[in-house]
Structure 1
Amino acid sequence: MVRFQHIEYLLALALVPLMVLVFLYVLRSKKNTIKKIGDPALVNQLIKDYSPSKFLLKFLLIVVAFVAGVIALANPRMPQGSTMVNRSGIDVMIALDVSKSMLADDIKPNRLERAKQFIAKLIDKLPNDRIGIVVFAGRAYLQMPLTTDHSAAKMYLSSATPDVVPTQGTVIGDALKMCYNAFNTKEKKYKSVVLISDGEDHDKAAEKITKAMADEGVMINTVGIGSPEGTTIIDPATGETKMDAEGRPVITKLNEQELKSIAGNGNGLYQLFTNTDEIVDAMDKQLQSMGQRSVTENSLVNFRNFFPWLLGLSLALLLTEFFISEVKKIAKVKKVIVKKEVAVLTVLFILPSLLFAQNSNTLIKNGNDAYNKKEYDVAADNYKKAADKEPNNEKAQYNLGNAFYKKGNADDALQAYDAAIKSSKSKSDQSASWYNKGVSLQNNKKLPECIDAYKNALKLNPADEDARFNLQKALLQQQKEQQQKEQQDKEKKKPKDDKQKNKQQQEKEQQQPKPQPSKMTKKEAEEKLKALLQQEKNLQNKLRRVDVASPDKPEKDW
């Protein structure tokens, strides 16, 4: 199906009625002029070589050439190459627990890292299946919708940490509900959920949701990761063992019973994580037992553009109009020769540009073929050649940025995305370039720049949920880094404050008046001491008398 890349240019076709009105006005003006000249017979004799039909033909050629040029600017195009892709597979939603209990190291290096390793290998085992990812802790989030782009799935998987979910806990029920909403609800088969968790918190809603999903044809498989004996958790913020409210170490244990119950109610398989390859093979075998459906999908990576042909048609019509004379007999041969020379020069100047554009499209097509084969070096080379030929070719710059990103050349990718943004004429294309630039910046820990990129993408396309979600993640990460920086600054400042307080205390002590030496004589001091001893002796005698007269003391009451 043919579609226009820049449909807004078609508004210029509104000028065609205006051109018709101008033509009719010119015809009327000519008739009025002939009437004003004089004798009609004499005037007809003077203009006998003029051909009204050729004048009309020249006008029609100009109008058709204009229409063809406007349509060429709108760039009608049609998907080509691997437009329709046939595959046989199922839809698999992966629900990954990213709560802090998954940081326990009873499975080295920790539960979360081994879970990611399992998911990555499982994705490699499902080349024809659509994969989606949901991460959950105290809340559930759709990390990636169902897609056949497995490289993107692995990219999103690598960024799954406890930081992406600010609320802690283990809401398995919400995660399962989010997975179900990602499926095509019209189908009753070929849908499965793979839940990876330690199942520590008992979620009462999970059992009910599992049964409802099983009735809708969804198979739910679970993987328990952790040990029943449990272990302590290292708090990533402090690097120390996490304590509860009473100051005791928190022990996290694998809740196998809940995960087994979910798998049983979901007509699926429960596995205890032991060896990565073994559970991947077992899970793959379980998913293959569901059967597979044949699906035909669109893969609109490449387009066939028709604007060169339309521009060629427009040029041909203008040249034809140029050679047609309004007179019936051509008296001046020299003038016609001059016109032919001008036409030939025009063709010589314009034709290379058409071939130039066609060559760039060929390079982009070759780059797309290499990109689909994951030959990113070859793809980048073709895209770069196309971009060098046409620096304002938005498609070449955009694809070049993607190829550099896949190669890991972040700086080159950012330059290509910037070039694509400058050359983009539509808001949707600019938004896509800003979004990809944001992803590249976020992966390179450039949070302020990536936040600006996501904001620009959302300004151009407010409906881009991926940009909105990544912006939220980047803002949370920036807030966390800011808090850590403030804490570090506070700790660095604290010793200085203590030192300042000690100095002030010393100065205060120095300012206090020192006691004056005693001016009392030795004899006076002896008399003073005797008087004090006599007072103490009288006090002791008085206490003895009171003790004798008092009754027995009561006993202790604790």
Structure 2
Amino acid sequence: MSILYPGFLWLMIPIGILFWYREKKLMETVHLIILVLIVLALSRPVFMQGVEESPIEAQEYIIALDVSYSMRAKDISPDRYTFAKETIAALLKQNPADNIMLIAFTTNPLLLSPPTTDHVLIETALKSLNPEYILTKGTSLQKLFEKVASMKSREKHLILISDGGEEKDLSRLEETVKKGNIHLHILALGSTEGTTVETSDGSLLKDKEGQLIISRTNPLLEALASATGGSYMTAASTPEATAGALYDALQAQNSLRQQVTKKQHRYTELYGIPLFFAALLFMMLHIRAVRYLLVALAFLGITAEASMLDGYRVHQAYKAYDTDDLNSSESWLKQVDVPSLQSRFALGSVYYKKGEYAKALKLFASIRSTDAAVKQKLYYNIANCYAREEAYEKAKIYYTKALQLGEDEDARANLALVALLADKRSTELGIAHPKSQSSGTSKSQEQKESKEESRSEDQPSSGSGSGGENSKSKKEQEKKKLLLDPDAEQQPLSSKVYELINKGYINEQKPW
């Protein structure tokens, strides 16, 4: 990185002194930081990308533009002055490598731009020139030639754009041009008939005696060009055509052009960075609405980014869950920045499937929702967790809550089985998997009841003894009746079972 205008960095010294002796207040400190950023922007930091070198043919020219009152005459559309400016702008585009100096003159010459190949700078100087600020009425070619002759260049190619004014001393002008080694190229603007000149207030320009001034092209210009060996031309139909003809005349007279190597630095401007932060700090400090807006935009940006990442993580968690990779699924769900209802349901299901029922129960119990369908699934999952931990009384409560919010076959079947287990803890019961927030009802696990009948018969055995005979004895064992065997004698029902029968959740004839 380089600094194009390092002189501005000297301003850091007084800013540093102010910073050292400042009051320890936030407002004052931020103001000093803003000043530092502005100074950095003024110093024009750039990132250098390299130097381009290219051989070109170039020539040095001095353009002298007459800006006197007479150039406001409108015998050339729209007027002489505007036509001259547009001609110069078109001439600059003919060869961007030419080194050009721009001078404006009336009774005295005024340097607008030193010799430069940066034609954009010359165009900027032209645009900033306002004829409304020109107060002098005369034109002095003599002072212009003397100024050009005093320049150190060995040869001076002067492009004179003027109507000639009221100059009459041809011999003196000729002598100055020749002594100063000036190659003269004249573009005469105006007409031989002449026209009146308007002032800034719209009135016509008059002389000291009150007579209207008629501005014509001074014939002295053509005579001067002929006497000094220069070129002379008048305006063409358009500024572009005039610039083309003028450039051709310059080329014909200057057969030997300089072969130079043009070096151009390529760089990227960086001044916008400190300037942006300076403006941002100023607005945040003094404009409350902007401060709130920036905070809101930053929050929305962070929220949007977090939402996109969370959606991706939940998707990956579901993929891992479907392949029974429960550890990966848990890892993805724990990376979610803003847990949603869906992600919390999914994490609870992962805990349940891994057999970590206490974690699943804690997570399901922490979820809050006003939606009846969501609450029903929550109650069902909580009941399943309690059932797996053999807390059957609590499981019955949450199965009942789930059924109060809507009919569910799984919940009804599990409630009946849990009610039985509450009285007979020896009965084995399978509990259905938990419901996820995005899934429907799952199939209930039906408890299979089996009957076992065991029969044993004593086989006849032969024995020896006096007067004894072999006999067969058959012993029948009583059938072992299971707790859930419908043919077995029913066990007495508990008060909880009667309560469920009254609510209609259990069949009164066959409560088991």
TM range (shorter): 0.3 to 0.5
Given the two structures, how large is their TM-score scaled by the length of structure 1? 0.38
Given the two structures, how large is their TM-score scaled by the length of structure 2? 0.42
